[in-house]
Amino acid sequence: MNRKLSLSLLFLALWLLFQTAFTLGQLYQNKLNNERFIASIETRVALDLSRLKLANEKFRTAADPDSIEQYMAQMNENLARLNSSALIVSLQNIDLATLEPSNNVQKRVLKSPEQSVEIAIQLLPINWRDGLTLIAPLFALMIAGWRYLTPPAKRSRYRLPQNTSPELEAEIQKLIINLKDKSIQFGSDGPAILLPNKPFCFYAALVDYCIQTDAPNLKHNIDVPNELILIANKYFYRLIELGHTKRKRPDFGANLDKTLSEIRSALDEAFKHNSDMKDLFYPPKAQGEGSRSKMHNYAITNDHPELVEFIGK
């Protein structure tokens, strides 16, 4: 999709999202305002009830419509000064003639020991312009503008393209972990670096473990995970099957600093002519506090299993 078109669609989608959120917020606030003003009308009528000339069957008194209408008009003037969204339109079936009839009317009943008073309250319609805001397109424009100024992310130059031909795949340099001769090598033309049993098995297991595990957390201040040790043991027993050793199985959880140091030295030699690719397969060194830093994670950050090849596995 054209980048300008995608940014335009992003702007419109964000504008719609922010505008919808603002409108819903306005509707909710209007509902709260209606409830607040209805409560204030009920409270005011309840306080003035003793002096209002309303019909009362118990005391056999008649209503004075003119005074009641004047009372409601005065109350509505006060509410208008407060920008009220609710007005009183009827009190004990005496309607305020100055207001146009509306369908959006709520009826409430005030009860006292002497009588029950019915109040009709009209809710004013919301002006659609109040639901619009300049903040929505402004925020949308800011985000779309930021995306426009940010260059598109480049694809990893290490990832294999789909439907790779055998000829092209042969040209791609891989890390070769060869159990047949206990060596690590990068590319078919790179030097094959031999390693002792323990660092070789630990490194093979480390690569295997980090490829299989999402966000591996390997730190010096915690024990080496059992899963990693089991994989290292598996590679050691494979070396025995291949006739490389008959020695006792090493403790892969001990002397971790020394093991990693031997691995890094071998990788420095293997990637002597391809240093730009080394970080994909290199156990990171600690920064600042030293190799025993609690924040240091020596896991390999390689999420490209297609760039690793095991021989004799």
Q: Is 224 exposed, middle or buried (0-12, 13-18, 19+ CB in 10 A)?
A: buried
Domain count for the chain: 2
177 strand-pairing partners: 184, 310
Coil vs helix vs strand at 166: helix
The answer to whether residue 30 sits within a structural domain is yes
pLDDT tens for each residue of the chain, 313 residues long:
566 788 788 888 888 998 888 888 888 888 888 899 999 988 888 888 878 888 776 667 777 888 888 999 999 999 989 888 899 988 988 888 766 666 788 888 888 777 788 899 988 887 777 777 888 888 888 887 887 777 555 444 444 445 545 544 446 788 999 999 999 999 888 889 999 999 999 999 999 998 888 888 888 778 888 999 999 999 999 899 888 877 788 899 888 889 999 999 999 999 988 888 888 899 888 765 544 556 678 888 776 788 899 998 8
For residue 133 the two structure tokens come to 């805001």
Q: Are residues 184 and 281 in the same domain?
A: yes
Q: State the pairing for strand pair 183-186/193-194.
A: antiparallel
How far, in Å, CA of 92 to CA of 81, rounded? 25
The answer to whether residue 152 sits within a structural domain is no
Residue-level pLDDT at 159: 47
The answer to whether residue 27 sits within a structural domain is yes
Residue-level pLDDT at 177: 93
CB atoms within 10 A of CB 198: 21
Q: Which of 307, 274, 311 is nearest to 169 (CA)?
A: 307
How far, in Å, CA of 245 to CA of 236, rounded? 9
The four Cα atoms 8, 10, 11, 13 give a dihedral, to 10 degrees, of 120
Q: Are residues 180 and 96 in the same domain?
A: no
Q: Tell me the whole-structure pTM to 2 decimals.
A: 0.47
Q: Are residues 108 and 213 in the same domain?
A: no
Q: Any idea what DSSP says for residue 124?
A: P
Residue-level pLDDT at 8: 83
> For 297, left (φ over 0), alpha (ψ -120 to 50), or beta?
beta
Residue-level pLDDT at 234: 93
Q: Are residues 122 and 178 in the same domain?
A: no
Catalogue the E-assigned strands of the chain.
86-91, 94-95, 105-111, 116-123, 175-178, 183-186, 193-194, 308-311
Q: Which of 185, 160, 171, 168 is nearest to 311 (CA)?
A: 185
Residue-level pLDDT at 268: 92
The answer to whether residue 166 sits within a structural domain is no
Q: Are residues 34 and 124 in the same domain?
A: yes
Q: Are residues 100 and 224 in the same domain?
A: no
**136 in Cβ contact with 11 (< 8 Å):** no
Contacts of 94 (CB under 8 A, 6+ apart): 63, 65, 68, 69
The answer to whether residue 149 sits within a structural domain is no
Q: What does each C-alpha distance from 297 to 37, 188, 243, 261, 285 come to in angstroms?
A: 61, 30, 34, 15, 8
Residue-level pLDDT at 226: 92
Q: Are residues 13 and 119 in the same domain?
A: yes
Of 130, 162, 196, which residue constitutes the final position of a domain?
130
Residue with token string 């691995």: 263
The answer to whether residue 141 sits within a structural domain is no
Coil vs helix vs strand at 202: helix
Residue-level pLDDT at 160: 46
The answer to whether residue 115 sits within a structural domain is yes
Residue-level pLDDT at 202: 94
The answer to whether residue 226 sits within a structural domain is yes
The four Cα atoms 297, 285, 212, 159 give a dihedral, to 10 degrees, of 130
Q: State the pairing for strand pair 308-311/193-194.
A: unpaired
Contacts of 50 (CB under 8 A, 6+ apart): none
Q: Are residues 189 and 120 in the same domain?
A: no
Coil vs helix vs strand at 313: coil
Q: How many helices (H) and strands (E) does the chain have?
A: 8, 8
How far, in Å, CA of 32 to CA of 40, rounded? 12
Name the residue range of residue 23's domain: 3-130
How far, in Å, CA of 20 to CA of 26, rounded? 10
**86 in Cβ contact with 124 (< 8 Å):** yes
Residue-level pLDDT at 264: 92
Of 78, 112, 130, which residue constitutes the final position of a domain?
130
